[in-house]
Amino acid sequence: MDLFESLEKQEINFCLICKNIIKLNIETESNSKEEYNPKNKKLIQVKLPPNEDLSKLEFNNNNDFYCFLCLNILDINHNIYTEILKDIKDLINQYDHNCIKLVLKFSSIFNFIFWFINTKISKIYNQNLNYIFESDTIRQIFINKYTSFFSEKLEEKFDNNEYNRDLDLIINYDLNDSIYQKFNDIILSSINNNNKIDIKEIKEKYLLNKNTGRSIIKALTIEICDINALFMNISKFFSIKEISSNININFSLSPTAFYISGNYIKLSREIGQNHFDRIFNISSVDEEIKKYFSKIFKNSEKDDFIFSASGREDRNVRMLGSGRNFIYEIFNSKKKFGLNFDKIKEEFNCESKFVKIKNLKISSKSEYNKIKKEENAKIKKYLAVIYTSKKIEKDVINNLIKDNLDINQITPIRVLHQRAYKERKKQIISLKEIEKINDHFIIIEIIASAGTYIKEFVNGDLGRTFPNLGSLLDCECDILQLDVEDIIF
Ligand SMILES: [Zn+2]
């Protein structure tokens, strides 16, 4: 008697598609039985027929039929698929895109069900086939077989290559709450008396819900439950029909993330670079920009933007000149094509009083990496209003240093709570007097190596930065105002 006949006698049926896959893989396995290692089961790929053969295989069109492998997920004529197609189309139309990728997501309760199916089949067949009976198998078959179906029905171009697509069409599979409830009752009645976890903890951490991960399922089927009892109880109280008819299918769309880079100019001493550096309810550079961007990209200001910049300035320091390089990684954008960056820039600059942007462009991961790398690699030009306790004669500042001046900076007191205690070697490249306000107040220009703490170079930070401007001028020095005038490459 062949395998399927003996299984059918026990009311274990497979659709024609799954039957074919099983046959194909049993043959494969008998040739390579000794290589099979349950620990590395991922190494054994399920063998699928070529797509042209796969496309000819049909799911049985019998209303009362429930497949023990695919749980009827492969039944593409099922009403649920035709019902969601129109909604999918409506949603897709809201997104800029050329190419879509089909993605199937199974909530991990399916792993629990596949554990049961594997145990059952293995007992009957006396051969381990658990790499066939798992959600990856169904995912692979579904995508290979039905991508063209979605392409045709939705009149959209599908490409399952990671790099070509603009949108992921994600079909999510889950089970109705009643099934979770029933499984959890079974788990509680199948607990292994020898396990070391008490019932309260099991109830809190190990019962199935929509967010249960694979590790919990592993723990349930290996340590927490008596697997024989668990298996018997599921056999007694569940049928594949009940599971299959309680699968709920919904979909979501996920556009691929992309990058936009530019430079920002910060004209205010009140706003910080991002929300970590702000007082009261005053906005920040990041928040100003993404508030505007979320209108353009029609996504969430709160969740859909990741901001990075090449370095930062203190809140009370303005960022002037050509500005500081920034980059956004943008998620869930409905808009992607035909962006008019000149218009976006102009409108933003009109709307935002204290932040201005320029050089906006579509960017890339490599640009992102470059900006992160440059974070502390650029020479900067500052303008500072300083106070000196003694009168400084004309040209003294201009002649104070000839070549680059090496200075040692121990982590400043004001940032000690955020930064490691460390001594850094930095350079002051040039010092120039720009304007004398009166005998004690001067505007000076400082060019310094990346990462120099300018405030501390001026005030000495109680000797923690040395030499400092005060030690060079032999008087007390303080800083009243600071601007990043430019970032020099
Ligand atoms: Zn099937």
Going from the Cα of 13 to the center of ligand 1, the distance in angstroms, rounded, reads 9
Going from the Cα of 236 to the center of ligand 1, the distance in angstroms, rounded, reads 22
Going from the Cα of 73 to the center of ligand 1, the distance in angstroms, rounded, reads 7
Q: What is the pLDDT of residues 260-271, one digit of tens each?
A: 999 999 999 999
Q: What is the pLDDT of residues 426-472, one digit of tens each?
A: 999 999 999 999 999 999 999 999 889 999 999 999 999 999 999 99
Going from the Cα of 148 to the center of ligand 1, the distance in angstroms, rounded, reads 19
Which amino acid is present at 434? I
Which residues lie closer than 8 Å to 248 by C-beta, 6 or more apart? 173, 174, 175, 176
pLDDT attached to residue 115? 92
Going from the Cα of 352 to the center of ligand 1, the distance in angstroms, rounded, reads 58
pTM of the model: 0.79
Of the candidates 42, 32, 48, 40, the one whose C-alpha atom is nearest the C-alpha of residue 127 is 32
Which residues lie closer than 8 Å to 464 by C-beta, 6 or more apart? 409, 410, 411, 412, 413, 456
Structural contact between residues 364 and 371, judged by C-beta atoms closer than 8 angstroms: no
Going from the Cα of 74 to the center of ligand 1, the distance in angstroms, rounded, reads 6
- How would you write the chain as a 3-class SS string? CCHHHHHHHCCCCCCHHHHHHHHHHHHHHHHCHHHCCHHHHHHCCCCCCCHHHHHHCCCCCCCCCCCCCCCCCCCCCCHHHHHHHHHHHHHHCCCCCCEEEEEEEECCHHHHHHHHHHHHHHHHHCCCCCCCCCHHHHHHHHHHHHHHHHHHHHCCEECCCCCCCCEEEEEEEEECHHHHHHHHHHHHCCECCCCCCCHHHHHHHHCCCCCCCHHHHHHHHHHHECHHHHHHHHHHHCCHHHHHCCEEEEEEEEECCEEEEEEEEECCCCCECCCCCCCCCCCEHHHHHHHHHHHHHCCCCCCCEEEEECCCCCCCEEEEEEEEEEEEEECCCCCCCCCCHHHHHHHHHHHCCCEEEEEEEEECHHHHHHHHHHCCCCEEEEEEEEEECCCCCCCCCCCCCCCCEEEEEECCHHHCCCCCCCEEEEEEEEEEEEEECCCCEEEEEEEECCCCCHHHHHHHHHHCEECCHHHHHCCCEEEEEEEEEEEEC
Which residue segments constitute the domains of the chain, with CATH numbers given? 3-254 (no CATH), 257-374 (3.30.70.2510), 379-488 (3.30.70.3190)
Going from the Cα of 417 to the center of ligand 1, the distance in angstroms, rounded, reads 60
Positions marked active-site: 314
Going from the Cα of 70 to the center of ligand 1, the distance in angstroms, rounded, reads 4
Q: Rounded to 5 degrees, what are φ and ψ at 461?
A: 50, 50
Going from the Cα of 190 to the center of ligand 1, the distance in angstroms, rounded, reads 29
Q: Burial letters for 3-36: b for 16+ Cβ neighbours within 10 Å, e otherwise? A: eeeebeeeebbbbebbbbbbebbeeebeeeeeeb
Going from the Cα of 189 to the center of ligand 1, the distance in angstroms, rounded, reads 30
Q: Which two tokens stand for residue 470?
A: 């005060």
pLDDT attached to residue 33? 47
Q: Which two tokens stand for residue 188?
A: 């509680």
Going from the Cα of 403 to the center of ligand 1, the distance in angstroms, rounded, reads 78
Going from the Cα of 473 to the center of ligand 1, the distance in angstroms, rounded, reads 84
- Which residues does the chain have with pLDDT short of 70? 1, 27-44, 127-128, 375-376, 489
pLDDT attached to residue 122? 83
Q: Rounded to 5 degrees, what are φ and ψ at 453?
A: -85, 105
